[in-house]
Homo-oligomer: A and B are copies of this chain.
Amino acid sequence: MTATRPAVLDLLPAELVAEAARLDAEDPLAAHRERFVLPEGVVAYLDGNSLGRPLKATRDRLPGFVEQEWGERLIRSWDERWMARPTELGDLVGRAALGAAPGQTVVADSTTVLLYKLVRAAVTARPDRTVIVADTENFPTDRYVVDAVARETGREVRWISPDPATGVQPEEVAAHVGADTALVLLSHVAYKSAFVADLAGITAVAHDAGALVLWDLSHSAGAVELALDDADVDLAVGCSYKYLNGGPGAPAFAYVASRLHDELVQPIAGWMGHADPFAMGPSYAPAAGVRRLVSGTPPILGMLPLQDMAALVEQVGMPAIRAKSVLLTAYVLRVADEALASHGVTVASPRDPAVRGGHVTLDHPAMQQVVATLWERGVVPDFRHPSGLRAGMSPLSTSFTEVAVALAHVVDCLQPTAP
């Protein structure tokens, strides 16, 4: 934000603007915002849940990486540092954001490919169980992957159809799992509503039925506290380009609880997941530990931004990040109630902060046009069909006044134009 007060703020009640200023002044994480690239042309960014802003540190170190790690050490860097990168960076992500002890997290591939590997590995590990439980509100890739794996392995998907407003409840899961269930696949934070599922409770329900559970943490990691080890989670995957600011299409992460390492074998047998890659032997033998999830050569350049952001998340700590996230989404709800509801905007996210993730979805029949206009003005939230504006506030890079400005622009777009 520039020091000049944007005129658009006059469209909000004065006390809401003052409240944003107060929250910024009291924000213990406020200084971190300056670590991110904040171009003048971006008036307000509310899409940190789709693509987190880059860190200046990332921008500034890339030429040095090309010059030294790649350009000077060349192939020697594989021995010196890169071979260990998928699991070292996995450990950092696990420590910073997942509540995962070392040796259980790896960074590789895309979220989709890791989902495929883990769903396949899970159903293969439970050959006498024929059902995968999933839900109709999950992100498309998750639904497509279980559908495809079920078809190719002769399994059946048993679909939960949750109320989008309340998300998947433990009782619904209990009603869908049984002695036939190999795997339960769910998202922890719903991509539309931001509803936070009861990760520990649902994991226990799945385990009671003898099923494995796989959590998609794409909208959780870096925004909502996670304790995978404590909750006895089996498997998890997540995207790194949202609240972990890994950059467009950055490699994803996967978590496999230590107790399952020997049991789970993923289908894409590649040389980099081999027990001894450079022996180049006649047949595949999976590496020990979570490294067996790796298939091809790890994408080193694409891991650098994630490395920088995960280190910052670890330094700041998830409790403080989650606390600010809750204040940010609560502020959006207050503005929605006091300044947007009168223009016909409704809230499609939970009001209880305990079950609300890092974004808030605001519905209005004209929202598609509103978002197009906002984008032209440099105000950038997300749009989701048919009528949702997703305001995703990355806690370390978003100020409350930035949110106020963005929502004042929404008011401006929705107010009746003079004849």
Instruction: Give me the interface of A with B, judged by CB distance under 8 Å.
Output: 37-39, 41-42, 45, 47, 50-51, 53-54, 58-60, 62-63, 66-68, 70-72, 74-78, 82, 109-113, 116, 136, 139-141, 143-145, 147-148, 152, 239, 241, 247-252, 267-272, 274, 277-284, 295-302, 305, 375, 380, 382, 384-385
Are A109 and B116 interface neighbours, CB within 8 A?
no
Q: A74: which of B47, B82, B252 is its contact (CB, 8 Å)?
A: B47
Contacts A110-B297, A272-B112, A278-B385 given; indicate if A75 touches B148 (C-beta within 8 A).
Answer: no
Are B70 and A296 interface neighbours, CB within 8 A?
no
Bound form: Cα–Cα A308–B125 in Å: 44
Bound form: Cα–Cα A245–B269 in Å: 25
Name A45's closest neighbour in chain B (CB-CB): B74
> Would you give the shortest CB distance from A41 to chain B, in whole angstroms?
5
Bound form: Cα–Cα A296–B384 in Å: 18
Name A241's closest neighbour in chain B (CB-CB): B297
Q: Lowest 3 CB-CB distances: which A-B pairs, in order?
A: A110-B296, A112-B296, A112-B270
Query: Inside 8 A of A76's CB, which chain B residues have their CB?
Result: 375, 380
Q: Which of A41, A136, A248, A298 has the most CB of B within 10 A?
A: A248
Query: Inside 8 A of A111's CB, which chain B residues have their CB?
Result: 296-297
Q: A54: which of B66, B141, B280 is its contact (CB, 8 Å)?
A: B66
> Would you give the shortest CB distance from A309 to chain B, in whole angstroms?
13
Are B141 and A271 interface neighbours, CB within 8 A?
yes
Contacts A251-B299, A385-B279 given; indicate if A268 touches B148 (C-beta within 8 A).
Answer: yes
Q: A144: which of B59, B241, B271, B278 is its contact (CB, 8 Å)?
A: B271
Are A63 and B60 interface neighbours, CB within 8 A?
yes
Contacts A74-B380, A302-B301 given; indicate if A144 touches B252 (C-beta within 8 A).
Answer: no
Are B72 and A268 interface neighbours, CB within 8 A?
no
Q: A299: which of B296, B302, B380 is its contact (CB, 8 Å)?
A: B302
Contacts A39-B67, A148-B268 given; indicate if A250 touches B72 (C-beta within 8 A).
Answer: no
> Would you give the shortest CB distance from A16 to chain B, in whole angstroms?
25
List, sorted by A's number, 21 A–B pairs whose CB atoms are closer than 8 Å: A39-B72, A51-B74, A51-B75, A54-B67, A75-B380, A110-B295, A112-B271, A113-B296, A116-B267, A140-B271, A140-B281, A141-B269, A141-B296, A145-B270, A148-B269, A249-B297, A249-B298, A249-B300, A249-B301, A278-B385, A302-B302
